[in-house]
A = this chain, B = another copy of it.
Amino acid sequence: MPKVTAEHRESRKHEIAAAALRLFAQKGFQATSMADIIAESGLSAGAIYGHFKGKDELIHSAISDLLEVRLHGVEAAGTADPVAPGELLRTFLDGIETEVDDLGLLLQVWAQAALDVSSRESTDRIGSHLRRVLELYLVDWYERGLGMPAHEAERTAAAFASLYLGILQGYVIQNTIFESFDRDAYLDAASAVRPDFTLLA
């Protein structure tokens, strides 16, 4: 009686998903055919369908893999010293750019999230998590870095976490689409953002 290590089976799934993601970054989800994925993975149709019920499941699984990686990258963070928002953004982006080899892939994921509920829930979950982590860093910075009172630091951080997340998303879009995008200038501007606390009361 043969025994199958569940790990090996899982890693094969991730292998296929990784091959699929490479194509998704180039052609998008729908324009990537099963034949493409079969060729890129170096396997056969039957092999793929042994691991995934169909193309939809493969897409969702690939997206999950991608976002999960992102999530672990964020978890790994955490420092003793408060970090300035500008540096924080740079760290996040460095992480993303090493994990995701083509940032354009994120645009595909967001577009897909706009179309079906399941993708949207995954993306929402990871995005919200990312926002929370950002918020914690900001509280730390406003409190220990700028010397703000605790409850004021929390209020400001809560308000600005979404905004910084938006700035990150804007970076991804412009970096992918705009030919003459100046990453450093963008991040310099992001670093020069100061909350006007009087307006957040």
Binding site for B on A (CB under 8 A): 26-31, 104, 107-108, 110-115, 120, 123-124, 127-128, 159-160, 162-163, 165-171, 173-174, 176-182, 185-186, 188-197, 199-200
Known A-B contacts A107-B111, A195-B192, A199-B191; A174 and B169 likewise in contact (beta carbons under 8 Å): yes
CA distance A113 to B172 in the complex (A): 13
Shortest CB distance A96–B (Å): 15
CA distance A170 to B163 in the complex (A): 8
Check A166–B171 contact: CB distance below 8 A. yes
Shortest CB distance A14–B (Å): 23
* Contacting residues, chain B, for A26 (C-beta < 8 A): 115
Copies held by the complex: 2
A177's nearest neighbour on chain B, judged by CB, is: B113
CA distance A112 to B163 in the complex (A): 25
* Contacting residues, chain B, for A197 (C-beta < 8 A): 192
CA distance A120 to B186 in the complex (A): 20
CA distance A200 to B29 in the complex (A): 41
Can you list 27 A-B pairs with a CB-CB distance of less than 8 A?
A26-B115, A28-B30, A28-B111, A28-B115, A104-B114, A107-B114, A108-B111, A110-B110, A111-B112, A120-B179, A123-B177, A124-B178, A124-B179, A128-B178, A159-B188, A160-B189, A160-B192, A162-B181, A162-B189, A163-B186, A166-B170, A167-B167, A167-B170, A170-B170, A189-B200, A192-B197, A192-B200
Check B199–A196 contact: CB distance below 8 A. no
Known A-B contacts A108-B111, A114-B108; A174 and B179 likewise in contact (beta carbons under 8 Å): no
* Contacting residues, chain B, for A199 (C-beta < 8 A): 188, 191-192
* Contacting residues, chain B, for A160 (C-beta < 8 A): 189, 192
A169's nearest neighbour on chain B, judged by CB, is: B170
